[in-house]
Chains A and B, each alone.
Chain A
């Protein structure tokens, strides 16, 4: 039942289109995961080193020294001006990094509108919501599909489509995917005048149905 990828008579799409379809599967959490991992690693390393120091792994003499080490305090006091600027710079970096991280995490995902025509007198713009609604309605009408939800993602220059399809129990999944591509997505691509429209399809089961155990 599995379907081969690509057809011999059609040229392969550009690599960025293929990447676009993979990216459209879901909102990326890579940045959040990276910074959380960095923060976790820093805390883990600091905590472990401090605990090892306290247990005397680096020598009993070091473990018995006060927390604000007099040598370090003296070194800071000797170059007070320099360390003030270093502390201010570190504070500014933390503020910028923290605000950037928070804003990036809270910012809603982009839903690009598509500009079809732009004349000096008029412009023809199709909103992301309108495209999504049309595609979802079209996909939901396919046999084997209970309901569908679409969303435009990416940017205006490289738009992509995220399609969540709830298939019914009787659905032929491969056939549903094929018809989504040949009928729904191809139609959207033609209507919008796009050479390529990367699509990420997420399949869900429409509802839990229990087959009768006794005929």
Chain B
């Protein structure tokens, strides 16, 4: 999302500047030479075309909805383009230590997969929550209680070892494997 923000920002800035330049040129041109059909954009013919349209006409409503959707998308990009770092405890206040949720997810995934009870695991992580979906084999009772406990214990041990500024909540879900162990 930040890449999109970095790409959109200069383009929109240039677009705004272009609109401003065209506005100034057209106003000055219309002032100095009244009655002409526009220097850069044919705004008198645009004005004539728009005069024949009302707010209730279908093309006007479609364009209005498109403008609103574009505005909503820009707003979403602006809101979602924040950093999602996971803060770690620093040894001094002069230092800030952070890592990405991807790194935390990789660490958790690696730790969980090291267990013999786990056949496969997918992990998603943020500063607030770590979600582990583990696949394994049922225990003697046919349930997955042991597998869940193993995964939860391993994740808890890892989180104890990491100097995280804020301990994330851990959610574990398990699924059985049909293949024999």
Residues of A whose CB lies within 8 Å of any CB of B are 1-7, 10, 12-13, 17-18, 21-22, 24-26, 29, 32-37, 39-48, 50-51, 53-56, 62-68, 84, 87-88, 90-106, 169, 173-174, 177-178, 180-182, 185, 196-205, 208, 211, 213
Contacts and interface: CB of A to CB of B under 8 A. Distances in A.
Contact of A204 (B21, B27, B66, B100): B100
B106 A43 contact: no
Contacts of B171: none
Given A24-B96, A96-B20, A203-B103, 12 more contacts: A6-B93, A21-B95, A26-B83, A29-B2, A36-B12, A50-B67, A54-B57, A91-B20, A102-B13, A201-B95, A203-B99, A205-B103
A47 B20 contact: no
Contacts of A197: 94
Interface of B: 2, 5-6, 8-24, 27-28, 31, 47, 50-57, 60-61, 63-79, 81-83, 85, 88-100, 103, 106-107, 110, 113-114, 116, 160-164
Nearest to B17: A98
A50 B181 CA distance: 63
B9 A43 contact: no
Given A36-B74, A41-B75, A29 B100 contact: no
B150 to A, nearest CB: 15
B68 A40 contact: no
Contact of A178 (B47, B75, B91): B91
A96 B116 CA distance: 63
A93 to B, nearest CB: 7
A3 B91 contact: yes
21 contacts: A1-B162, A7-B92, A18-B93, A21-B93, A21-B94, A36-B78, A54-B60, A54-B61, A54-B64, A63-B55, A65-B55, A66-B50, A67-B50, A91-B24, A95-B21, A97-B13, A98-B18, A99-B14, A100-B13, A181-B95, A198-B94
B20 A92 contact: yes
